[in-house]
A = this chain, B = another copy of it.
Amino acid sequence: LIQPEYFKFASSTAAGLVIVGKRLDDCSRLQLIHKNPYWAFAKTSQIFAPSIKQSGSISQKAHISESARIGANTTIYPNVVVDDHARVGDHCVLYPGTYIGRHASIGNSTVLRANVVIEHDCKIGERVLIHAGTVIGSDGFGFAPGEHDIAKIPQVGNVVVGDDVEIGAGSTIDRAAMGETRIGQGCKLDSSVHVAHNVHIGDHSMVCGGAHIAGSAKLGRWNILAGASNVTNHVTTAERVTIGAMAGVTKSLKESGEYMGFPAVPMREWRRQIASVRRLESLFERVRKLEQLKELKDKE
């Protein structure tokens, strides 16, 4: 019960339990009171969510390198390939078509859904969930244009994904040129997100669908990037920065708060800009009138 318009149903609901931010007097049902009722709802829902029973065994149709190590009670579906010297933890689930590259490591209780690719040397934390078709550790976009060709800068770094991270489907996280591309602990990334090489995303940040983070950007903790937003390369952001939908950050943001537009500015400034642009035609008209007056006066 987060939105006030639902409060009126509290007295008549047939629900066994209502989750509220403050105790409701006018409600005879069991009340779960938490200052953050949405979060409490999420936690409660998790108890009731169906979980799929896994076999805990390795399919005969999977291809596991002899030098790879697989933990206890890990389920591996058909058509999974685990390459040389890769390590997969305990209680993991690897769905069909996933590929784990050489020397990559997957922490305990991590789930990779169908056709996920973890490239060589990348490190995935514990209790991570990566959705279908996502690619971790593809080469970063490092090139030096010359006179007659464009030379590739070898991408010899990797990607490190922290514990308790979730990454949506069809996303791409590129490996670092040198060092690490880093997805902080507890981050949640949506589907169709692109994270370029050497980006660091601070712990507990959220990145919504279609967002793109360009090379070497460093985001603070608890950032939120709304849908289809964009962060330019080498930019840094403070803690608790929120970037609005379709906004594009072109300069480092040293203050927490909400930003919007392209180039992104503080939300209040953007609102004023938009309001001004919408009234702009009338301003032309007003200036025209002043000019006409001037002409009239000149003639007098």
Contact with B along A278-300 (1 / 0, CB 8 A): 11110110110011011000000
Query: Given the complex, which residues of B lie within 8 Å of A139, measured CB to CB?
Result: 129, 131, 166, 168
Q: Please state if B194 and A145 are interface contacts (CB–CB under 8 Å).
A: no
**How far does the Cβ of A193 sit from chain B's closest Cβ, in whole Å?**
8
Query: Given the complex, which residues of B lie within 8 Å of A233, measured CB to CB?
Result: 227
Across the interface, A287 reaches (CB within 8 A) one of B143, B174, B206, B287, namely: B287
Across the interface, A291 reaches (CB within 8 A) one of B250, B273, B290, namely: B290
CA distance A274 to B287 in the complex (A): 18
Restricting to A18-69, which residues have a CB under 8 Å from any CB of B?
36, 38-39, 41-43, 45-46, 48-50, 52, 59, 61, 63
Q: Please state if B286 and A276 are interface contacts (CB–CB under 8 Å).
A: no
This chain: copies in complex:
3
Q: Which residue of B lies closest to A192 (CB)?
A: B194
CA distance A139 to B139 in the complex (A): 26
Known interface pairs A39-B146, A52-B120, A97-B115; 19 further A-B residue pairs with C-beta atoms within 8 A, sorted by A's residue number: A39-B144, A45-B154, A46-B151, A99-B132, A113-B119, A113-B138, A133-B133, A133-B135, A135-B169, A138-B191, A150-B206, A196-B227, A209-B214, A227-B233, A228-B230, A228-B248, A230-B246, A273-B277, A280-B280
Give me the 7 closest cross-chain CB pairs, A-B, nearest first: A49-B154, A138-B169, A42-B151, A210-B212, A192-B194, A172-B191, A42-B144
Can you name 26 A-B pairs with beta carbons within 8 Å? A36-B146, A39-B151, A41-B153, A42-B143, A43-B151, A61-B63, A78-B81, A101-B114, A113-B119, A114-B117, A129-B139, A131-B135, A135-B191, A141-B168, A141-B208, A170-B172, A191-B196, A208-B214, A210-B230, A245-B248, A246-B262, A273-B277, A273-B278, A273-B280, A280-B280, A283-B283
